Amino acid sequence: MIVRAQPILKGLRAVVTAGPTREPIDPVRFISNRSSGKQGFAVAEALHAAGAEVTLIAGPSALAVHGDITRVDVETAQQMLDASMQAAAHADLLVAAAAVADYRVDTVARQKIKKSGDTLTLQLVKNPDILVALRQQFPALFLVGFAAETEKLEEHARGKLARKGLDLIAANWVGAGKAFDVDDNALSVFWADGQQEIASASKAEVAQQLVQLIAQRWQARATQGVT
């Protein structure tokens, strides 16, 4: 039996960021993280199945998506920021599932760094926060963030919800075999005056439930007239 998703987001334009970013050190090396992109890609698929017109901004990932999803491949946080700003200008909502590198190497070596001393020091500088930049530029954009935490899940997630001016934040535990590069996930989703648990399931099922919740909160914001 084929179960088709209800087109609850028909007519809406959605952007999803997913996967890791890669910050170059020299022509052959980079700093990155363990994000597989699976949860973000699944959110893009679920938004598409719910009728939205979807642009996926993907860090390096071997995953594929539905042909009707517009895919923009990027490497660095700066490239992800530029692509997100461009796509968000024509969007109603954006889900930031990417694991953006918080820091990049200050000066990327033009040639391969040769082995010399016993230690090597790299100077790192902070990357721009994509969600903060989006909120500043697009006050009415419905913004959904993710928070990957190893402790104090609700406290840290609610802190990010407020600090980044988000409409919704989906938090999950990471570390010790949880969330990164595995097929199942569980989420605690928070918004200003509420929260909902999405129980452990495949990342595809979790994405479908998250999209249901996004649709509900989108509707609630529209009826409250909150922008």
Does 207 participate in binding ligand CTP (rule CB under 6 A)?
A: no
Does 130 participate in binding ligand CTP (rule CB under 6 A)?
A: yes
CB of 19 to ligand CTP, least distance (A): 10
Does 191 participate in binding ligand CTP (rule CB under 6 A)?
A: no
Return the residues of window 87-126 that contact ligand CTP according to CB under 6 A: 96, 98, 100, 102
Strand partners, 70: 55
Task: At 152, list the tokens.
Answer: 């104090």
Nearer Cβ to ligand CTP (101/215): 101
3-state SS, residue 2:
coil
How far is Cα of residue 127 from the mean position of the Cα atoms in its chain? 15
Does 127 participate in binding ligand CTP (rule CB under 6 A)?
A: yes
Length of the chain: 227
- CB closest to ligand CTP, residue no: 130
DSSP 25-78: EETTEEE--S--SHHHHHHHHHHHHTT-EEEEEE-S------TTSEEEE--SHH
Query: What does the DSSP 8-state code read for residue 139?
Result: T
CB of 69 to ligand CTP, least distance (A): 18
Nearer Cβ to ligand CTP (116/211): 211
Does 131 participate in binding ligand CTP (rule CB under 6 A)?
A: yes
List of residues 6+ apart from 176 with CB closer than 8 A: none
Nearer Cβ to ligand CTP (84/212): 84
**CA angle, 187 then 215 then 78, to 5°:** 65
CB of 78 to ligand CTP, least distance (A): 10
Of 101, 133, 129, 130, which is closest to residue 25 (Cα–Cα)? Answer: 101
Does 43 participate in binding ligand CTP (rule CB under 6 A)?
A: no
Nearer Cβ to ligand CTP (77/213): 77
Query: Are 56 and 46 within 8 A, CB to CB?
Result: no
Catalytic site includes residue 33: yes
Does 56 participate in binding ligand CTP (rule CB under 6 A)?
A: no
**Which residues are part of the catalytic machinery?**
33
**Interface residue list for ligand CTP (CB under 6 A):** 17, 77, 96, 98, 100, 102, 127, 129-131, 145-148, 160
